[in-house]
């Protein structure tokens, strides 16, 4: 019976050691769980911060896109106005060039007519009585 009690005592010691090992393992696991929960909270906080930052950056990008589109629209409008002015100035230039060409043609014609008139006047003057011969 003593042997049975010794065997039972050894078994109880083994069970106690096993229970103590399980308790130590449980404490280690609980500590690990707490550490993981803290890490999880830190990651959630970081994620929230990054989400807020992403939202701010998205708003900035949207604003910049709107500003860029406004500048593009303004540039297109200015470009259209400049093209219109260029067409107007080109038309005026063409008109002035035509007038200049007409004026130069008239000038040349009048010079020829004036030369002819000068010759006729000289001929008339030569025929007048008392004209030098």
124 has a pLDDT exceeding 90: no
Q: Tell me if 95 sits within 8 A of 89, measured CB to CB.
A: no
The mean of the pLDDT values for the chain is 94
| N-to-C CA span, the chain | 183
Q: What is the pLDDT of residues 4-36, one digit of tens each?
A: 888 889 999 999 999 999 999 999 999 999 999
Q: How far apart are CA 38 and CA 45, in angstroms?
A: 10
3-state secondary structure 27-77: HHHHHHHHHHHHHHHHHHHHHHHHHHHHHHHHHHHHHHHHHHHHHHHHHHH
Q: What is the pLDDT of residues 37-67, one digit of tens each?
A: 999 999 999 999 999 999 999 999 999 999 9
Q: Which token pair is 6?
A: 């010794």
Q: pTM of this prediction?
A: 0.51
């Amino acid at each position: 019976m003593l042997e049975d009690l010794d065997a039972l005592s050894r078994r109880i010691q083994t069970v106690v050691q096993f229970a103590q090992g399980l308790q130590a393992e449980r404490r280690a696991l609980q500590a690990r769980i707490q550490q993981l929960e803290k890490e999880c909270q830190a990651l959630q906080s970081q994620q929230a911060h990054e989400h807020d930052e992403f939202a701010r950056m998205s708003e900035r990008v949207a604003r910049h896109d709107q500003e860029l589109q406004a500048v593009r629209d303004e540039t297109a409008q200015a470009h259209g106005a400049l093209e219109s002015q260029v067409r107007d100035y080109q038309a005026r230039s063409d008109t002035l060039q035509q007038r200049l060409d007409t004026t130069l043609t008239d000038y040349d014609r009048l010079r020829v007519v004036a030369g002819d008139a000068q010759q006729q006047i000289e001929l008339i003057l030569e025929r007048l009585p008392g004209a030098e011969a």
